[in-house]
Structure 1
């Protein structure tokens, strides 16, 4: 998808210029978070022919944007993501996330949410973990939950469920559970990269639009030696 990568490179250039112009007015944790995320976003924009690598780079960019050290209270990754999405959707007065989820990628998102191969309990059962023999019932229950969220246009919940699927896809790639450029997971990798490449710039813009929000301290801050 050359057009996607070309667009991503252009968006990165624009956001990087904005960050440079405004960063003196940002809290240092936010500036570092945006700087790191943009660095990986820019590298992802260079990947025209390799959707596997583009997806991995975009996922690192997402991690840089949201993952935080929350004082003495260490939330689970799922709780962190839920909090992050709730905040973004609350601040999204221009409905940019809403338009992406409901207008630009509705079919791709529905297919991703319906795909058992990116549904964690499916793999937990097939890897012999006890307690997941009912993965089909779990998938059916989640479909009901998804349909209810779709009817309510609950963008934050749809994002959470979508990124749980994308996280499974991330694990397949990063932990060697898939073949590079393999034939069996092309659609979800391609769609996942396209979705991430469109949503991430919106997330970063919203963060820069609201620098006084508490976006959390990066878990790995810069330490002066």
Structure 2
């Protein structure tokens, strides 16, 4: 898996003119790399810090503005971004990672505390989780593996909400395993997503980047 330092070198190897002609792409990648590097360098016991930095890196990649300069909703922007990167992944970096980390992914999907339905409806999500596990096992390694990618990030998004909204105690023993597994997998996924973007995304439309450095009318 390529590190932030290695990915930054790959980004710099892209033709300068191409990078300058697509600031929405370049700003995303540069911001994402900066936070990915911070996540990679987090202390081994700073699980929350690693996850938070990782999610900021991911948010830097998927966040976008509509034609009225208003941010898209997280789930819509995230889903659109993941679908776009999946389409560009001609070398199957992401698909291979899903296969390689299959057991970890299934454990995350199986965790009822990372299932949004558990918190929203107050009911038991057991049947839903069993169905999702069965489907994921059937999909990994096939063209339908994109469904597993989206499902995985739905689970990671629940962890994100717990941490970002102060619904989790720092260092709590209750979610240590989940926090460790989510953080580790999130970083690996971001590395793969960035690898695909740098290899194939410089000519793509990624939407208007949020908070461009020079303001809404001038991007560098």
Settle same-fold status: TM greater than 0.5.
yes
Q: In the alignment, which residue of structure 2 is the partner of 1:89?
A: 86
- Normalized against structure 1, the TM-score is what? 0.84
- 1:121–1:197 distance in 2 versus 1, CA, 3 Å: same
**How do 1:107-126 and structure 2 match up within 5 A?**
107-124=103-120
Q: In the alignment, which residue of structure 2 is the partner of 1:144?
A: 131
Q: In the alignment, which residue of structure 1 is the partner of 2:12?
A: 20
- 1:23–1:172 distance in 2 versus 1, CA, 3 Å: farther
**Does the 8 A contact of 1:146 with 1:158 survive in 2?**
no
Structure 1 residue 145, shift from structure 2 partner: 4.0
Q: In the alignment, which residue of structure 2 is the partner of 1:127?
A: none
Higher mean C-alpha displacement, 114-123 vs 149-158: 149-158
Aligned residue among 189, 192, 217 for 2:208: 217
Q: In the alignment, which residue of structure 2 is the partner of 1:52?
A: 48
Q: Which sections of structure 2, spanning at least 5 residues, go unmatched?
A: none
Q: Which sections of structure 1, spanning at least 5 residues, go unmatched?
A: 1-6, 125-131
Structure 1 residue 189, shift from structure 2 partner: 0.7
Kindly report the root-mean-square deviation, in angstroms, between the aligned alpha carbons of the 2 structures. 2.1
Residues 185-220 of structure 1: CA distance to partner in whole angstroms, max 9, x if unpaired?
A: 011111111111111111112111121111112122
Q: In the alignment, which residue of structure 1 is the partner of 2:168?
A: 178
Moved over 4 A (4+): 72-75
- 1:71–1:51 distance in 2 versus 1, CA, 3 Å: same
Residues 105-141 of structure 1: CA distance to partner in whole angstroms, max 9, x if unpaired?
A: 11111111111111122123xxxxxxx24x32x4523
- 1:146–1:91 distance in 2 versus 1, CA, 3 Å: farther
Structure 1 residue 48, shift from structure 2 partner: 2.6
Query: Alignment partner of 2:174: what SS?
Result: coil
**Does the 8 A contact of 1:23 with 1:31 survive in 2?**
no
Q: In the alignment, which residue of structure 1 is the partner of 2:33?
A: 38
- Normalized against structure 2, the TM-score is what? 0.85
